[in-house]
């Protein structure tokens, strides 16, 4: 039987291992780097590298890799062995220089125009704030990634910079409030990960799943999620075995996998971890997604992380639970028992409200992807309109501050179950709003709009940066105040008054909210091309340049990469549809129609008086559908090729969204209607019934 405390973190070069294996002076120097951001000396790196190598070799490692997160959306790694020649043999060595610096070929990674193809050199550099770990006889070293000329080419570096910026500004403000013992502030994240599990043998028969991660054709099964019987339901034996193996693999790597359950859609599930710092949480979430997919192979399953693998049932998201904590153990977003007198909480709350309102377009941009466009606002995820939910109590407090009225908290009322044997308990002072993109949930904000495959570094570095900017402004407004208490109250009132439009506690799915949001002046950016059009707005560029997160050139590169990735994904989907339509679906339907026609002719040969029957009606409907299907297939191919030829990325993205995607939807509608009429014996692909209920 697995003893969790014994295996937890057993494959991680964590604090316990370092304390045991490093000389005290080296350990203390490294801790100062990790905790205080002090520069790392090469002599310290040499000692750490040797200890890390010895530990890894004891765990069976022969190689090491600098593990990094380029702009591809997935992780990357290049493996080097520890061997060094020694006489006629070899020894195992690993230096501080090799630990600190790696050199992968950077020419084939997306750079958004920063690097030409012939400019191949790039560097990875050790991130000591995220512990190294062992996987598959290899030592994995988390690193940042940059070009030969120093431009940032990864998702980790902006995140680390944003964490330092927010810490610096938060500490200054806290010192102003008298909390001089605080020396560092960290943002923490707990990303809930949704995913689908399907049978691998069925997956192998679906070219759309293999190439695109989602089904491009597929008629709805007779049963979907309408009975809500899968949600939190009993976990099937095969899935339970998978989840058990997954937990063990994650625990070995020190990943705090806590909660697992069935989600709403058939074959959909969720895993949620305990909070970690934003940097470690990002690394852990990337690892979690990789390990989910690898463990699935052991069980002849496939883990799907696409935001919408099956049309007609809920897609998968990733709820980003974000908070701010001090090195003294205080959560700065905790209201306490009396939030109305908690100036510290109200200041930080006001900063977040102001940030979300002023940079709502950026928050929408952080979750924009081809996959997430299918999901946002589809009664399974928040809408594309960014707003904040504070709950009844906090909303009442905000209005009392704005209006100058009295505030009366409902407190934590005791729930009366009405059953003697059931213990009474206190309920939370606010309900949860699952339709809100950015909801306050007690002592944190839950950013619910993220797609399931997204690297969480992007939304978190943007969120950190925009809040740091507001905290900086707050400090400047308060630092010279003669009456600090009065100045704080006035700043909170002014901020909440000016930015209350972003607060909405109602039903975000309603048409009334769409109209109301427009009246309030909130964005409704329904697709990636619409959202990305605001990326390079001056206020957004100024935000990241001023706070030294990214240069304007680096931002422009990210903008171009996101647009180009979107266009390529849509093009791959479109051409996959064309291939499926031409090579498999059209021939299959033709074969079925021929068989039906032969049957109908045979019947007619027996007697001219036999009336038109169901077979004839099906033949007529399928013949009409076949004709329409052929026309749409040709039109889709033409639109896809025309869009791919457009040079400007923004123009091409709008063409993909408004022309190519429109044809894809039309072709799918006809194809799915033909599946409903065609015998399963002839249809070339596993059905939704097979895929969703086959595990």
Structural domains present in the chain? 4-154 (3.10.20.70), 162-411+427-550 (3.30.590.10), 566-692 (1.20.120.1560)
Q: pLDDT-based confidence at 606, cuts 50/70/90?
A: low
Q: pLDDT-based confidence at 617, cuts 50/70/90?
A: confident
Q: Is 80 exceeded by the pLDDT of residue 459?
A: yes
Instruction: Give the model's pLDDT for residue 611.
Output: 54
Instruction: Give the model's pLDDT for residue 411.
Output: 66
Least confident of 79-88, 174-183, 638-647: 79-88
Contact (CB, 8 A) for 387 and 516: no
Q: Is 90 exceeded by the pLDDT of residue 638?
A: yes
> Could you give the percent of the chain with pLDDT greater than 70?
97
Distances 455 to 282, 367, 505, 560 between C-alpha atoms, Å: 7, 10, 28, 17
Q: Is 80 exceeded by the pLDDT of residue 604?
A: no
3-state secondary structure 271-309: EEECCEEHHHHHHHHHHHHHHHHHHHHHCCEEEECCCCC
Q: pLDDT-based confidence at 610, cuts 50/70/90?
A: low
> Could you give the percent of the chain with pLDDT greater than 90?
82
Query: What is the mean pLDDT of the segment spanning 657-679?
Result: 97
Q: pLDDT-based confidence at 428, cuts 50/70/90?
A: confident
Rounded Cα distance, 562 and 551, in Å: 17
Q: What is the pLDDT of residues 494-506, one digit of tens each?
A: 999 999 999 999 9
Instruction: Give the model's pLDDT for residue 196.
Output: 98
Instruction: Give the model's pLDDT for residue 614.
Output: 66
**196 vs 434, higher pLDDT:** 196
Rounded Cα distance, 328 and 468, in Å: 19
Q: pLDDT-based confidence at 608, cuts 50/70/90?
A: low
Instruction: Give the model's pLDDT for residue 300.
Output: 98
Q: What is the pLDDT of residues 506-555, one digit of tens each?
A: 999 999 999 999 999 999 999 999 999 999 999 999 999 999 999 999 99
Calculate the average pLDDT of the chain. 93
Instruction: Give the model's pLDDT for residue 417.
Output: 76
Question: Under 8 Å CB-to-CB from 119, ≥6 apart: which residues?
Answer: 106, 107, 147, 148
Instruction: Give the model's pLDDT for residue 406.
Output: 81
Q: What is the pLDDT of residues 129-156, one digit of tens each?
A: 999 999 999 999 999 999 888 899 999 9
For residue 285, is it left (φ>0), alpha (ψ between -120 and 50) or beta? alpha
Least confident of 96-110, 162-176, 404-418, 616-630: 404-418
Pairing of strands 388-389, 276-277: unpaired
Residue whose entry in the numeric block shows the structure tokens 């900063």: 351
Residue 356 burial class via C-beta count within 10 angstroms: exposed 0-12, middle 13-18, buried 19 and up: buried
Q: What is the pLDDT of residues 345-357, one digit of tens each?
A: 999 999 999 999 9
Instruction: Give the model's pLDDT for residue 452.
Output: 97
């Amino acid at each position: 039987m697995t003893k969790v405390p014994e295996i937890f973190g057993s494959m991680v070069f964590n604090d316990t291992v370092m304390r045991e294996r490093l000389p005290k002076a080296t350990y203390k120097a490294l801790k100062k780097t990790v905790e205080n951001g002090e520069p790392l000396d090469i002599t310290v790196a040499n000692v750490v590298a040797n200890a890390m190598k010895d530990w890894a070799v004891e765990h069976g490692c022969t190689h090491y890799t600098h593990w990094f997160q380029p702009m591809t959306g997935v992780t990357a790694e290049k493996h080097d062995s520890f061997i060094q020649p020694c006489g006629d043999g070899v020894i195992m060595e690993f230096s501080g220089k090799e630990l600190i610096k790696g050199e992968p070929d950077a020419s084939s990674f997306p750079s958004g125009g920063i690097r030409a193809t012939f400019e191949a050199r790039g560097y990875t550099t050790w991130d000591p704030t995220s512990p190294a770990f062992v996987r598959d006889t290899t030592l994995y070293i988390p690193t940042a990634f940059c070009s030969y000329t120093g431009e940032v080419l990864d998702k980790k570096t902006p995140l680390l910079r944003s964490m330092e910026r927010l810490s610096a500004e938060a500490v200054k403000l806290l010192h102003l409030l008298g909390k001089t013992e605080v020396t560092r502030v960290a943002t923490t994240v707990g990303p809930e990960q949704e995913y689908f599990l399907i049978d691998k043998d069925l997956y192998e028969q679906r070219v759309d799943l293999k190439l695109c991660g989602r089904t491009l054709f597929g008629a709805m099964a007779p049963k979907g999620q309408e009975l809500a019987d899968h949600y939190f339901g009993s976990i099937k034996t095969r899935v339970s075995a998978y989840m058990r193996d997954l937990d063990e693999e994650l625990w070995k790597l020190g990943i705090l996998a806590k909660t697992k359950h069935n989600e709403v859609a058939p074959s959909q599930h969720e895993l949620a971890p305990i909070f970690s710092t934003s940097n470690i949480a990002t690394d852990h979430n990337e690892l979690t997604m990789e390990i989910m997919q690898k463990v699935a192979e052991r069980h002849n399953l496939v883990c799907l992380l696409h935001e919408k693998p099956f049309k007609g049932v809920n897609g998968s998201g990733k709820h980003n639970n974000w908070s701010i904590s001090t090195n003294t153990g205080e959560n700065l977003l905790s209201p306490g028992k009396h939030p109305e007198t908690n100036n510290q909480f109200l200041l930080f709350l006001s900063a977040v409200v102001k940030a979300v309102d002023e940079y709502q377009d950026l928050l929408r941009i952080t979750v924009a992807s081809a996959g997430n466009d299918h999901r946002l606002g589809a009664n399974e995820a928040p809408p594309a309109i960014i707003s904040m939910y504070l709950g009844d109590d906090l909303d009442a407090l905000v209005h009392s501050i704005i209006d100058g009225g009295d505030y009366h908290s409902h407190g934590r009322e005791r729930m009366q179950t009405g059953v003697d044997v059931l213990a009474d308990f206190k309920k939370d002072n606010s309900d949860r709003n699952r339709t809100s993109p950015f909801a306050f949930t007690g002592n944190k904000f839950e950013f619910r709009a993220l797609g399931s495959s997204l690297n969480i570094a992007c939304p978190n570095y943007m969120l950190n940066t925009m809040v740091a900017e507001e905290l900086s402004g707050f400090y400047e407004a308060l630092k010279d105040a003669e009456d600090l208490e009065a100045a704080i109250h006035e700043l909170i009132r002014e901020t909440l008054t000016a930015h209350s439009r972003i607060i909405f506690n109602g039903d975000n799915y309603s048409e009334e909210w769409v109209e109301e949001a427009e009246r309030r002046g909130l964005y409704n950016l329904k697709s990636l091309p619409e959202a990305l059009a605001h990326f390079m707005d001056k206020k957004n560029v100024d935000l990241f340049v001023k706070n030294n997160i990214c240069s304007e050139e680096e931002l422009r590169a990210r903008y171009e990469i996101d647009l180009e990735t979107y266009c390529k994904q849509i093009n791959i989907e479109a051409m996959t549809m064309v291939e499926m339509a031409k090579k498999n679906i059209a021939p299959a339907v033709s074969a079925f129609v021929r068989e039906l026609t032969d049957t109908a002719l045979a019947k007619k040969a027996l007697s001219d008086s036999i009336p038109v029957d169901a077979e004839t009606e099906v033949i007529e409907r399928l013949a009409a559908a076949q004709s329409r299907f052929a026309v749409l297939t040709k039109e889709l191919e033409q639109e896809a090729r025309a869009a791919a030829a457009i040079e400007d990325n923004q123009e091409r993205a709008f063409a993909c969204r408004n022309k190519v995607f429109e044809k894809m939807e039309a072709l799918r509608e006809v194809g799915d209607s033909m599946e409903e009429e065609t015998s399963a014996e002839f249809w070339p692909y596993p059905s939704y019934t097979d895929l969703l209920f086959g595990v």
